[in-house]
Structure 1
Amino acid sequence: MVVFDAIICDPPYGVRAGGRKSGGRKLLKGVIGPYTVPDDKRTDHIPSTAAYSLAECVHDLLDVAAKMLVMGGRLVYFYPVLREDDSTETHFPEHPCFKLIATCEQILSLRYSRVLLTMVKIGPYTEEIAETARLKHLEFKENHLKWLEEGNLHAAVFSSADLSWVMQAIPNPVKTPNQSTEGNTCSFYL
């Protein structure tokens, strides 16, 4: 269902307050199945929630945007970056339906920054992409359980090994001259 020209958001990425999703641990572990809250308990019901990892959040964002954006539509969102002195490459999420066209870094501290990514939809959402997304959700269910058991959600947010499926280096981007304001950098890709 293609309905939007643009999606602009600031997803939770776990530096201060991590993301949460409906479901709870028992549902994610498979102890209980999905349930419907009875009418007489809906007024006071507080839904169970579980942690929502950065990898899963970005995957869901890209998948929903690929389904709902018109061709040529824009997806604009913040993405966290762990600032390392020896790092020369920056890795950003990729999706077959999107092309990264601009980045703008906002330095938050010596350790963290966030980058405003602008992507344009260049391809249709196909059945093959939908199946890949479905399989990735199953993988997230397994990894989510592992991260909960290890208490390793914060490390998983910034681990490039855990995010290798969604993050790849941008091969030789062509940049216009950088525009800097107090340490913040913007780049545009052709």
Structure 2
Amino acid sequence: MIASKNLQIKQEADGKVTYVTKDNVTFTAVNAMTVNVGDTTINNDGLTIQNGPSITKGGLNAGNKVIGNVSKGVADNDAVNVNQLKEATSNITNNINNLANNTIALGGDNGTTTSAQALNKEGGLQFDVNGGNGISTTANGSSITVTAKPMVQQLRLMFQVILQRIQVMLLSHLMLILQMQPVMLSLQVK
């Protein structure tokens, strides 16, 4: 009797012959429905480690264990590692802080400006628009309405009437001057 490369033959003193597999065997192919090695099971559904991770048709389950030595993701559908996540979070936080520290100030006549207010001001930004003499302001929603007070409106109308009268008087005087000019010229010629 001859054993193959994976078998071992033992012959006992009483003449009994025992065929056993060697401790280290090599096969070209193994077909099995389920293979159990300690806490690990491999079957048609995938690989499962009792109380540990599994890779099955349903997906990857890390079994609440840390997945270590993960390379940085590159493509859009790659996973990221904790270092990449921390870098991205830090960049976002820095950008938000930089933006929040920006200020806004409003400018008025003659180079006047309001005090600058930071974008992250508690309670939000607010600038008051005050009306001067004869002007009132009203804020509603996101709009500010600037209105001339009634007295100012009356003065404006009176001023318009006065301007119209001055224009009429100037035009009349101009017409008189133009009518008189040829007479004056004719007097000078004689």
Q: Does the pair score TM above 0.5?
A: no
| Higher CA-based Rg | 2
Query: When you count helix as a share of all residues, which structure comes out higher?
Result: 2
Query: When you count strand as a share of all residues, which structure comes out higher?
Result: 1
Query: TM-score by structure 1 length?
Result: 0.17
Higher RCO structure, 1 or 2 (CA under 8 Å, sep 6+): 1
Query: TM-score by structure 2 length?
Result: 0.17
